[in-house]
Structure 1
Amino acid sequence: MPSKTNTPLATSVDVTNQSDDWTLFEVTVTNTLTTALDAETCTLEVEADEAVIATFKSAWVTLEMEAIPSVSGTTLTITLQAEDAPVFIDPGDTFVIGFDFETGDLTADDLTCTAWVDEGQGEVPGMDTPSTRGALSVGTDGRLKGEDDLDIQLLGISSHGYTWYGDFLNPHTMGQIPSVFNGNLVRVAMYTATDDNMGYLDFTDGGQDNLRDEIKARVQEAIDADLYVIIDWHLLYDFTYGFQPFPSRDFSGTVEMGPEEWKSHAIDFFQDMAETYQDTPNVLFEICNEPNYSTPENSPESPLYTWEDMKETAEEIISAIRDTGAQNVILVGTPEWCQRLDQVIEAPISGQDNIMYALHFYAKEHLPEPGQHVFNMFLAAMAEGLPVFVTEFGTTMASGNGGVSQGDTEGWLSALNDNMVSYANWSLSNKAEDSAALATTAEADTWGEDDLSTSGETIAGLFKDKPSGSKLMQAV
């Protein structure tokens, strides 16, 4: 066990029942720290006359934990052990430790009670960053882990399309993400095809090389700021623009690029990134943002890709990354705007480590309530222990407009926090839409808290209010 420090927690002692030959005490313990604490790091020490301590009978706690007592001379020491998942106490919250002695007529003045936390818990911990938590992995429980093999939660913000709003990814912004949003993550969203020919696949080889260099420069800025960073191959409606990502689909329009060529570009891109960042703990790879199909008129009977359609291609991209020796966490998109986790549950990728599956939601449209389609997908994934990472969410409707719903956003983030699921908000831009985190007047190199939009203010507030520890509760 870690050594103890003089970092006390507030206590109050009451006699709650007694008779001529026994006395029951309850000690209310308050978390006076500015961060959540793991209740297992708490210790209660009770000092009294040796004759009193010798009559100790039993101890308990008003948490889903076991109170473990030990007696030595004039001291009763009570530590706590979780029965199942760890129990976290938010700042200002209380719990009660009770104990009794086979001695009557005792008062609170007969005892001296002191509660404290383990070494390191008495200080406000630093943010979970690559320099403090190191390289990431995915545990057998489906949770993201730091290099210490303990759970870690990333939260931050995604850029909008890099070729449109890439100027908002710069050293100034990388410094603002932790200070304004309390974030430790940035997502670099690089569209692969767009209606104005500004996606990666729209460019010639020379243009692709230039874009790669720019992406690497932005990643380095994130590394310099001690952030985790997602490199996002932002597939969306590639098929609409003539690029066919996956086989097994007939298409009535003009195909500019078939699935083999599309896959070869993805593999080439990610092998380059993997070779560059395989020893860099900051970097995660998102290999297919939203593997949608196109529009119903292009394939009336089945307009949307299924997991079966895309799984083999995803596996080939993953294998190509792993062939470089890189073990970075890989985030895999899921069907229908990254919502159909149920299809993945039935046939997850096997034989590969450090794989997580993307879930996307827009809080005002995809309500955080049981019975709602997307939230049901999330609940099912948590019940099955599927590794999930919310690589994109919004405070608005899926269109990016329709106003901001703080209550629904808070409901979603509460569920994610309780399950230690990481998330990135869409989007870090000054685009004239409600989901943008910045006002349209914000400047890329100078923006601050005064430049936040309604969505940005909502996210900043919720991120800052998030307990630094998670209750680690399973969704029900």
Structure 2
Amino acid sequence: MNQDQSPPPTPTGYAENGGVRIAYEDLGGAGGEPLLLVMGAAVTRFWWPDGFVEALIDRGFHVAAFDNRDSGQSTHFPASPAKPVTALFRKEVPAYTGEDVADDAVAVLDALGWESAHLFGHSNGNLRAQRIALRHPARVRSLALSAGVSSDAGRLKLLRYIHFGFVAKMARLRFPDTPEGGLAMSLAVSRSLASPGFPFDEEEARSRIRKDEHSPVRDPNTMGRQLGAHWSGPALDSIRVPTVVLHGDSDQLLRTTAAKDLAAAIPGARLVVTPGVGHDLPGPMYAVYAEEVRRNADAARSHAALPSGRPEIGLSEPIAAQLHSTSRPNYDIISIGSVCPARPNPGQAARERTDDLTNRQDGTRSRKGLMFTAAFAAAALVPAGIALADGDAELDADEGAAATAIEQHGQLSVCGTTLCGETGEPVQLTGMSTHGLQWHGDCVNDASLDALATDWNADIVRISMYVQEGGYETDPAGYTARVSGLIDDVTSRGMYALVDWHILTPGDPNVNLEAAQTFFAEIAAAHANNSGVLYETANEPNGVAWPQIKSYHEQVVPVIREHDPDSVIILGTAGYSSLGINEGGSAADIIADPVEAENIMYAFHFYAASHREPYIEAVDRAADQLPIFATEWGTQTYTGDGENDFAMSQQWVDMMAENKISWTNWNFADDWRSGSVYTEGTCPDGPYTGTTNLKPAGVWIRDQIRAT
């Protein structure tokens, strides 16, 4: 063990547990009831928000926090070759045990002179707090458990709790092996885990990250050792102290079922699900969480622990009132014990992104950064030391790092008004649309698709095949073969392929009905087993009412379903796919008379410089009742040319993020218009990576896709 650390000046103290030094800090509130904060793996005591600590002190607590062994200023163990993710699932001799980790916290209590304390555990610290209470029940007064899983969780149940798509998407980020790269990495984690219902406080995050110079997020081996600490203690039903389980309904890493199961496992536990909260502790919720901790501690003080049986679920009335009085008052309590956001705003994360993420070294991957991003969720959440049976497959960090959109989400479906992945998680895909293949097919090649997949980090490519204007009708067999080949090229790179039957002139899709049926029958038959294919049956119907457009869709959808019963089909709408708005209609026309079919969505197209606030508001409302996919949009006027309006574009991007509306931007080509992302002459030779050959719209859109 490395014992040569120089202790920093007070208020840092050191507790001893069998030769291991545990750094701790008295955060204030002397004279109050003892409360020990237990942080998860991969981060240190500096990640506790100052505002939350102050809220706890204001409610009568004497607060302390500590660095887990192998993190921060506590003792670090010798390097081991274990990878963070595989350490979770291997049977091997650990550097230390889960019991050792629980004993560390008791050593801190001894050093503070506390006979017992209330515990607040967050993320993997939630799990550690459970185990402290199980191993040392006389030292724990009450438990507040936030954003974590049950210590009893078995392997299969554990895997069902985690949003692995989010983990894999984090793993696609790249960070240089530099101090600046480390800052960007930690900031990206903070932003990715930030609560969608509240603005991201970048200043607070940066301050916290800069204090955390000893953080093991920069050391994958440390996380491997922490995750390898096996636990052999008792089950949760032996806990007899008042317990409150707190969980955000927008937690990016853990499903709400993890909290429900945890609360059900502890006798008398109370479950509180908070609206708009992710895997962090957002500022507007400090008072809410502190009040819940206070309420739970009061139960311990008055010996009013809840009886065994089903967990009580819900916010106390005073706390619910506080929730409604936060800076985001638009929350609705929808049942006893469950609260949900009326309209959270995950688009804030895109608006708040910084140059730390967008100005990384193009085309390079920091192995250390990849190891971290692939493993962070597991390190922060998962019960350490869960081992697979002999012969079971192991998870590999490198495999997580290479995860593609298709690997993350699998077969897509429509659940309610949202696009969802294979496991039911809401999905927002972002990517690019090609220009017409008859004009700019040379821009869609191996090098450009590689750039979209690995440099732009696109999830989806819309393959735009015009029907008229020199397109499909001139060579049906040739264009069918071209589209079929591009589907393979796109999906083999892990991106979804959206097949666009690009009708524009004439605007009535029924004119091309027989051709559409032939084309989609051939494409669907050829790719029926490819889970990466989506279909757009009519690009921009215009000059024709919704009933006629609906009739067309009702004759094309069954043709696709005959061969491919599962893929998502996107239906063009009236008024150039504006939900009819451009021609005096509205989404109400579709809502009143929808196409009756499974896994369908409705197309919406817009150009930010032309379609402004009234359009945004209309789509925002419609998204409550219709599954919408923005298959074509631009930052310019509806001509695809003119000045870029990035401010209005950002409003659109934020609204789409808020509503989980997937999108493909027009267009991935080198046309002379401002809407084509590349400068003239880029195709076919490129280069396509980086920003050298990008127009202003291209730079902006690439940043947007990379930030989602």
TM norm structure 1? 0.72
- Which residue of the other structure, out of 553, 571, 577, is the alignment partner of 1:332? 571
Change (3 A) 1:309 1:461: same
Equivalent AA in structure 1 for residue 514 of structure 2: S
Deviation at 1:166, TM superposition (A): 0.8
Give the Å deviation of 1:285.
0.7
**What's the counterpart of residue 11 of structure 1?**
47
Instruction: Give per-residue Cα distances to partners, 1:285-305, cap 9 Å, x unaligned.
Output: 11000011xxxxxxxxxxx21
Higher relative contact order (CA 8 A, sep 6+): 1
Residue of 361, 367, 381 corresponding to 1:118: 381
- What amino acid sits opposite 1:78 in the alignment? L
8 Å CA contact 1:339, 1:377 repeated in 2: no
1:206-245 equivalent positions in 2, closer than 5 A? 207-238=475-506, 245=509
Separation in 2, partners of 1:91, 1:353: 38
- Which secondary structure does the structure 1 equivalent of 2:380 belong to? strand
* 2:698 alignment counterpart: 456
Does structure 2 conserve the Cα–Cα contact (< 8 Å) formed by 1:232 and 1:285?
yes
Structure 2 residue 617 is matched with structure 1 residue 379: no
Does structure 2 retain, via aligned residues, the 8 Å contact 1:394–1:400? yes
CA distance in 1, matches of 2:698, 2:427: 24
Q: Any idea what the Cα deviations from partners look like across 1:186-240, whole Å, max 9, x if unmatched?
A: 111001112xxx0212x2xxx210111111111111122111011100011125x
Alignment of 1:29-428 (within 5 A): 49=109, 56=118, 71-72=133-134, 73=136, 74=139, 76=143, 78-79=145-146, 80-82=246-248, 83=273, 87-88=277-278, 96=286, 98=290, 99-100=293-294, 117-119=380-382, 129-139=405-415, 141-194=416-469, 198-201=470-473, 203=474, 207-238=475-506, 245-246=509-510, 259=511, 262-292=512-542, 304-340=543-579, 341-350=587-596, 352-367=597-612, 369=613, 372=614, 374-384=615-625, 386-428=626-668
1:456 CA drift (Å): 0.2
For residues 93 and 130 of structure 1, the distance between their equivalents in structure 2, rounded to whole angstroms, comes to: 35
What is the CA-CA distance between 1:380 and the residue it aligns to? 2.0
Q: Which amino acid aligns with 1:170?
A: N
Give the match for residue 97 of structure 2: none
- Partner Cα separation in structure 2 for residue 267 and residue 423 of structure 1: 25
Taking a change above 3 Å as real, the CA distance of residues 85 and 436 of structure 1, as seen in their structure-2 partners, is: farther
| Distance apart, 1:25 and its partner CA | 4.5
Letter in 2 for 1:188: I
Q: Secondary structure at the match of 1:392?
A: strand
Q: Give the drift of 1:77.
A: 5.0
Q: How far apart, CA to CA, are the structure 1 residues paired with 2:57 and 2:490?
A: 61
Letter in 2 for 1:187: R
CA positional deviation for 1:91: 12
Partner SS, residue 540 of structure 2: coil
> What's the offset of the Cα at 1:447?
2.5
SS at match of 1:463: helix
Distance in structure 1 (CA, Å) of the matches to 2:544 and 2:657: 30
Q: Which runs of 5+ in 2 are unaligned?
A: 1-38, 66-101, 123-128, 147-245, 249-272, 302-377, 383-394, 580-586
5+ unaligned residues in a row in structure 1: which ranges? 28-44, 62-68, 105-114, 247-258, 293-303, 467-476
Give 1:437 shift.
Answer: 0.6
CA contact (8 A) 1:358 1:390 kept: yes
> Judging changes above 3 Å, is the alpha-carbon distance between structure 1 residues 23 and 233 closer, same or farther for their aligned structure 2 residues?
same
Pair 18,413 (structure 1): closer, same or farther in 2 beyond 3 Å: closer
Moved more, 398-407 or 76-85: 76-85
Q: Is the 8 A contact 1:135 1:282 kept in 2?
A: yes
Whole-angstrom distance in 2 between the partners of 1:130 and 1:330: 17
Paired position in structure 1 for 2:392 = none
Q: Distance in 2 between matches of 1:237 and 1:131?
A: 37
Deviations 1:110-159 (A, max 9, x none): xxxxx972249x998666511232111111x2211111221122110000
CA distance in 1, matches of 2:456, 2:449: 11
Distance 1:271 1:18 in 2: 67
**Which residue type is aligned with residue 184 of structure 1?**
D
Q: How many angstroms apart in 2 are the aligned matches of 1:234 and 1:209?
A: 16
Asked if structure 2 preserves the Cα contact closer than 8 Å seen for 1:8 and 1:116, the reply is no
Is the aligned partner of 1:23 residue 2:58?
no
Residues 52 and 226 of structure 1: CA distance in aligned 2, closer, same or farther (over 3 Å): same
**Residues 308 and 215 of structure 1: CA distance in aligned 2, closer, same or farther (over 3 Å):** same
Match of 1:436 among 657, 676, 680: 676
Is the Cα contact below 8 Å between 1:342 and 1:380 reproduced in 2? no
When you count helix as a share of all residues, which structure comes out higher? 2
Would the alpha carbon gap of residues 429 and 26 (structure 1) be closer, same or farther in structure 2, given more than 3 Å must change? farther
The letter of the residue matching 1:331 is: I
User: 3-state DSSP class of the match of 1:8?
Assistant: coil
SS in structure 1 at match of 2:611: coil
Task: Tell me the distance in 2 between the aligned counterparts of 1:414 and 1:145.
Answer: 19
State the AA in 2 paired with 1:337: Y
Offset of 1:268 from its aligned partner? 0.9
For 1:136 and 1:128, the matched residues in 2 are separated by 14
TM-score (norm 2): 0.50
For residues 638 and 676 of structure 2, what CA distance do their matches in structure 1 show? 12
DSSP 3-state at the match of 1:393 = strand
How far apart, in 2, do the equivalents of 1:116 and 1:337 lie?
48
Indicate how the Cα distance of structure 1 residues 353 and 170 shifts in structure 2: closer, same or farther if over 3 A, else same.
Answer: same
Q: Is the Cα contact below 8 Å between 2:620 and 2:659 reproduced in 1?
A: no
CA distance in 2, matches of 1:153, 1:452: 24
User: Whole-Å Cα distance in 2 between the matches of residues 410 and 305 of structure 1?
Assistant: 31
Letter in 1 for 2:636: T
- Paired with 2:571 and 2:607, the residues of 1 have a C-alpha distance of 19
Q: Describe the shift of the 1:6–1:427 C-alpha distance in structure 2 as closer, same or farther (beyond 3 A).
A: same
- Per the alignment, do residues 410 and 277 of structure 1 end up closer, same or farther by CA in structure 2, a change over 3 Å counting? same
Q: 1:391–1:423: 8 Å Cα contact kept in structure 2?
A: yes
Asked if the contact 2:669–2:683 (Cα under 8 Å) also holds between the matched residues in 1, the reply is no
Q: CA offsets, 1:363-422, max 9 Å, x none?
A: 11112x3xx1x22331221222x1111101101010111211111111111111122111
Distance in 2 of aligned mates of 1:171 and 1:403: 31
Deviation at 1:55, TM superposition (A): 6.0
Cα deviation for residue 443 of structure 1 reads 2.6
